[in-house]
Amino acid sequence: MAIIRENCVRDRGLILALVVMNLCLASVHVIGQTDIPTTTDPLLSFGFYATSCPRAERIVRDAMHEYYLNDPRHAPAILRLFFHDCFVQGCDASVLLDTADPKEPAEKEAAPNLHSLRGFELIDDIKSRIEAICPRVVSCADIIALAARESVLLTRGPRFAMLTGRRDARTSSAARAQRDIPLPDADYDTITKSFRSRGLNEVDVAALLGAHTIGRSQCKFVRNRNVESTTCSNHGNHTTDLDIGSGGIFDNHFFVNLRRGRGILTVDDALMSRLNSYLRVTAFAYDNELFFDQFVSSLLKMSSIGVLTGVDGEIRQNCSVVNGPGPLNPFNDEVVTPRHHPPRHPKKPVVISGRATGSQS
C-alpha cells in the first residue's frame, strides 16, 4: 500500500481524525486511563531499592543531570542503549558486557551497535558511585532503565516511575543482537513482527518509535531525499536530527513531521503506510499529552521484557564483565529483596496533564 501522505486527505484529514478518534483511542488509550502493564514477574516493582539502597535513584538522577549539562547527546544515547539492551534477550544489561571469548563476540560488537552505541562509560560511572555505598545491591540492568527514565525527563518529556528489581545476565551474543535489533530500513511488517515477538503490539510500535523525537541519525541511513538534500548533502553534515525542528526536545513534533512527509528513517516513515498506524500518528500529532501517556505505558511494558529476577543472573560489580569466583565475589547468586518492601505487581500511575507519576526517590 502506498505511503499515505497528508496531501492525500488534505481536506478531510482533520475531520477523518476526529470521526475515528474513538476508534483510534480504543487502541491508543484514553488520557488518564493509561494501562501500566502487569509484569509477568512479581519481583519487579516501583521503588525496589527504597530500603536496600535508598539513594540509588537519586545517584542516577544526579549523574545523568551532570552528563546532560556537559553534553545533551547523552540523553538520546542512553535511551537508545536501553532499547538495544531490551530487544536482545531482554532488559538484562547484556549489552554492556565486553567480549570474553574472541570466538563469541558480545552484543556491543554487533553491526547495529559497533561504533554507534554510546553511553557505556556513563553507566560504568554511575555503577561505581552506587557500589561505593551499596555494594552488590543495584543491578546494571536497573541502572540502564533508571538512566533512560532520566533521559526522557531531562529532554522535557513525561515524569514517571520506573520499574526496578532486574538482575544482570551472564551472557551476551553479537550474533543474537545482529538478528534481533530492528534496522532503520525496516518496513512496517518487519518492525511490527519484531515488536510482536517481544509481546509489544502495534500501538507500542508507534509510541516507542516516538523516542526518535530526540537524537540524531547518520546521514547514510536517511532515505527521505528532501531531508537528505537539505540537512546532509547541501551542508556537508554527517548526521541529522531525527526530529527536524524539535531535535533534543521530547515531544510529539516527531509525529507532526511524519504527517508532513518529513520522516528521516524508513522505519519511521513506515508508520504512515497503514491506515490504523496513520490514525495513531495523527492522534499523537494533535495531542502531546496522549503521546506522553502512551509512551510511558509502552516503555514500562518494554522494560519488563525477558527480565532476570530472584536467583537468575547476578548483580555485577563491574557492568562490563561478569562476576568471577573468589573471595571478592562470594555472593553471585544472592537474592536482594528490600526489607519491609515486598515485591508487588506495578500499580497504575496517576496521570496529570500528560505526566504519569509514581513513587520516586
Q: Kindly list the catalytic residues.
A: 84
Q: How far is CA 317 from its chain centroid?
A: 24
Which helix (DSSP H) or strand (DSSP E) does residue 286 occupy?
helix 275-286
Cell for 36?
501500566
Q: Is 92 annotated in some ligand binding site?
A: yes
Q: Is 212 annotated in some ligand binding site?
A: yes
Q: Is 142 annotated in some ligand binding site?
A: no
Q: Is 107 annotated in some ligand binding site?
A: yes
Closest CA to 211 of 162, 259, 264: 264
Q: Is 236 annotated in some ligand binding site?
A: no
Q: Is 6 annotated in some ligand binding site?
A: no
Cell for 95?
549489552
Q: Is 251 annotated in some ligand binding site?
A: yes
Contact 152, 158 (CB under 8 A): yes
Hey, CA dihedral for 323, 329, 334, 336, is it positive or negative? negative
Q: Is 213 annotated in some ligand binding site?
A: yes
Half-sphere exposure of 73 (CA within 13 A, CB side): 11
Cα–Cα distance for residue pair 249/241, rounded to 1 Å: 11
Cα–Cα distance for residue pair 148/157, rounded to 1 Å: 11
Phi and psi for 11 in degrees, rounded to 5?
Answer: -80, -25
Strand 239-241 versus strand 163-164 pairing type: unpaired
Cα–Cα distance for residue pair 266/171, rounded to 1 Å: 32
Contacts of 158 (CB under 8 A, 6+ apart): 152, 250, 292, 293, 295, 296, 354, 355, 356
Bind-site residues for substrate? 182
Bind-site residues? 85, 88, 90, 92, 94, 107, 182, 212-213, 243, 251
Bind-site residues for heme b? 212
